[in-house]
Amino acid sequence: MAEEVKRSGFKSGFISIIGRPNVGKSTLLNLLLGEKIAIVSDKPQTTRNRILGIKNHPAGQIIFLDTPGIHRAQSRLNRSIVKVALATYSEVDGVCFMIEADRSDNDENDFILETLTKIEKPVFLVINKIDLVPKGDLLPIMERYSRLRSFEQIIPISALLGDGVETFVDELLKILPEGPRLFPEDMITDLPERFLVAELIREKVFQLTQEEIPYATAVVVEDFKQREEKNLIVIRATIQVERESQKGILIGKRGRMLKEIGRLAREEIEALLGARVFLELWVKEEKNWREDPRALRRLGY
C-alpha cells in the first residue's frame, strides 16, 4: 500500500486559510469545492466555527480549514473564535494567509503576520480580490509583504471570478506530503447537514439585518425530519437573540422579516439537500448568550 502511494505520487494533507474578516476565505472555499458549505456575507465575522472542506483533485486530496477571521478579540465569543483560528496552525501542512488587493495595508494583517512568526510550515500569501484593482497595484503589495517575511509563494487570485485559483491549487499540491486519500472521494465536508442548515439561516440573518443584530444571533436546528415518501424534509429552527427589541426586528412588521429570512434560507437548503423543505422558524430571546460560557458550549463555539 505504502509502495503504491509512493509510485502514484498521490498527495494529501491539510491547509488552513487564515486572514482578517471579510477577505474572502469562505468564498474561496466554496469555489474550490463547487458547493456552498461556508456562509458568506459582506459583514465581517460571519464565520464562527472551523469549517473543513475537502478538495478532490486527480493528483491529490487537499483538506482545507476555513477559519473565522483572525482579529483582536473583544467579547468572549470573539476570543473563542481567534483561539480556533490559531489552534489550526499546529494541525496543518501549510498555511494560506489571505489579504485583499484593495485593502492590503491593515493593522490586523500585521497582527496575523506576528502570529505566523513561529510557524515552520510553508506559508503562502494569497492576494484576493484582484478584480477590484488595476494590475499595477499588485507588485507593490508583493514587494511590501516579501520584506515582512518569506513566503513559499505569493498567489494573486479572485475568489469571486475564479482567476488564479487553478495555480493556487497546483502550488499547494507541490508542498503536500505524499499520502493516500484521507476522506472518501464523494465527501466535501465533515460538517453535519444540521449544522449547514443552521448556518444558511444565519447567513440570511446576516444579509438582511443590520448593526448589532447579526452578531447577537445564533441559530439552533431543533428538529430535522425526513419524510421519505414525499421527498420532504421538515426542519424546525430557533433563531436566538440577546434582547427583546432584537426579537421584534427579526420578526418584523406582521412577521415580514422572519418570512423573508425563511424563504431565502429555504431555497438554499433545498438546493443543498436536494429535497423539498418545510422550514419553521422561531425567534427566542436568550439574554447575553455571547458572554455565557454554557450557552456558547451548547452552540458549539
Residue with Cβ nearer ligand GDP (199 or 242): 199
Three-state DSSP class for 283?
Answer: strand
25 lies in the binding site for ligand GDP (CB under 6 A): yes
Binding mask 35-54 for ligand GDP (x = CB under 6 A): -----xxx---xx-------
Angle 269-275-276 (CA atoms, 0-180°, nearest 5)? 80
Q: What are phi and psi of 227, to 5 degrees?
A: -105, 85
User: Of these partners, Mg ion, ligand GDP, none, which one is at the site of residue 188 (CB under 5 to 8 Å by kind)?
Assistant: none
109 lies in the binding site for ligand GDP (CB under 6 A): no
Stretch of residues binding Mg ion (CB under 5 A), selected from 2-10, 25-33, 74-82, 116-124: 25-33
Q: How far apart are CA 217 and CA 240, in angstroms?
A: 6
Confirm if 227 and 233 have CB atoms less than 8 A apart.
yes
Three-state DSSP class for 193?
Answer: helix
Q: DSSP secondary structure string, 42-108?
A: SSS----S-EEEEEEETTEEEEEEE-PPP----SHHHHHHHHHHHHGGGG-SEEEEEEEGGG---HH
Q: Compute how many other C-beta atoms are within 10 angstroms of the C-beta atom of residue 21.
A: 16
47 lies in the binding site for Mg ion (CB under 5 A): yes
Q: How far apart are CA 49 and CA 138, in angstroms?
A: 31
Stretch of residues binding ligand GDP (CB under 6 A), selected from 52-60, 125-133, 136-144, 221-229: 125-133
Binding residue for ligand GDP (CB under 6 A) from 49, 80, 109, 128?
128
Binding mask 59-78 for ligand GDP (x = CB under 6 A): ----------x---------
Residue with Cβ nearer ligand GDP (47 or 246): 47
Q: How far is the CB of 277 from ligand GDP (least distance, A)?
A: 24
Three-state DSSP class for 143?
Answer: helix
107 lies in the binding site for ligand GDP (CB under 6 A): no
Q: How far apart are CA 217 and CA 65, in angstroms?
A: 23
Stretch of residues binding ligand GDP (CB under 6 A), selected from 17-25, 142-150, 208-216, 276-284: 17-25
Binding residue for Mg ion (CB under 5 A) from 26, 67, 78, 128?
26
Binding residue for ligand GDP (CB under 6 A) from 24, 53, 164, 262?
24
Residues at the contact surface with Mg ion, assessed by CB under 5 A: 25-26, 47
